Amino acid sequence: MEKLQLTASDIQKNTGGICEPFEMNIRDPEMVSKAFDQIQKKFGKDPDVLVNNAAGNFIMATERLSANAYGTIIDIVLKGTMNVTTELGRRCIKNKAGAAITSITANYARAGGPFVIPSAISKAGVETMTKSLATEWSKYGLRFNAVSPGPIPTKGAFGRLFTGEMGDAEDLIRTRNPAGRSGTPEEVANLVAFVSSDHMSFLNGVIIDLDGGQQHMHHGSHMGEFLHEMDQKAWDETENLIRGRTGKEKL
């Protein structure tokens, strides 16, 4: 909760707005429901905008994944997103209140994601949820869209997806993206804000790629063909590196 409070403080300082953090484990439906109760109590209403940004991912040869490793990612990204989305949806339906739900996905949800199978499965499920609920719940004033970003360099994400340093990862991306660069968090935030706003009230059931055109190259992947050439020793080194960065004893 301390990190959330620090982040909220920075947001308020930089924007002059109000940012109130609420803690929940999205894998636990009961905790999700309690968090929505707290939001309702604090603001007197349920949210009218929801951004599903749950993430969990790392590169690994699929045959080396434990059931716990891929189960955890699916629980966070797919089940967690479903838990939060359906909790808000039920409340909106009951109270006859509309809302915009925008989910963050990935281009490998459609193109396929070798070496990131658990995330690819989960993000594909989120995109299917988006399109399905866009038709089922539109009559309740709920609309569902998704933004599918290309590579956005952050320490948390890239530390699990690349074995090298941040600068090396960004150099690799520049050579594999038509735009010759990676995206920025601000670009994603701007698009999500626009898609979620009343200016786009007729937009529903759409997956928007924000990747500099990368989905039209290399099957949408920014991971690099070199992963197919890694031997067991290289994967051992990769696994140890990711463990060190994530603090996990095993994947």
Catalytic residue among 36, 70, 108, 144: 108
Q: How far apart are the first and last CA of the chain?
A: 25
The stretch 206-231 carries a mean pLDDT of: 74
- In this predicted structure, the answer to whether residue 62 has a pLDDT above a threshold of 70 is yes
The stretch 87-104 carries a mean pLDDT of: 98
Q: For residues 153 and 174, give the distance between their C-alpha atoms in angstroms, rounded to a whole number.
A: 12
The per-residue pLDDT for 222 is 53
Most confident of the following: 6-10, 26-30, 223-227: 26-30
- Residue 202 in contact with residue 141, Cβ under 8 Å? no
What 3-state DSSP class applies to 207?
strand
What 3-state DSSP class applies to 101?
strand
What's the token pair of residue 204? 């529903």
Q: Is 140 a catalytic residue?
A: no
Task: Report the run of H or E that residue 51 belongs to, with start and end.
Answer: strand 49-52
The per-residue pLDDT for 153 is 77
pTM for this predicted structure: 0.83
| b/e sequence 110-137, b meaning 16+ C-beta within 10 Å | beebbbbbbbbbbbbbbbebbbebbeeb
Q: For residues 238 and 233, give the distance between their C-alpha atoms in angstroms, rounded to a whole number.
A: 9
Which CATH code of 3.40.640.10, 3.30.470.20, 3.40.50.720, 3.40.50.300 fits the domain covering 42-246? 3.40.50.720
Task: Report the run of H or E that residue 142 belongs to, with start and end.
Answer: strand 142-149
- Compare 111 and 219 and report the one with higher pLDDT: 111
What's the token pair of residue 217? 């190259």
Q: Which tens digits make up the pLDDT trace of 117-173?
A: 999 999 999 999 999 999 999 999 999 999 999 888 776 555 555 555 556 667 777
Among 24, 56, 55, 61, which residue's Cα sits nearest to residue 39?
24
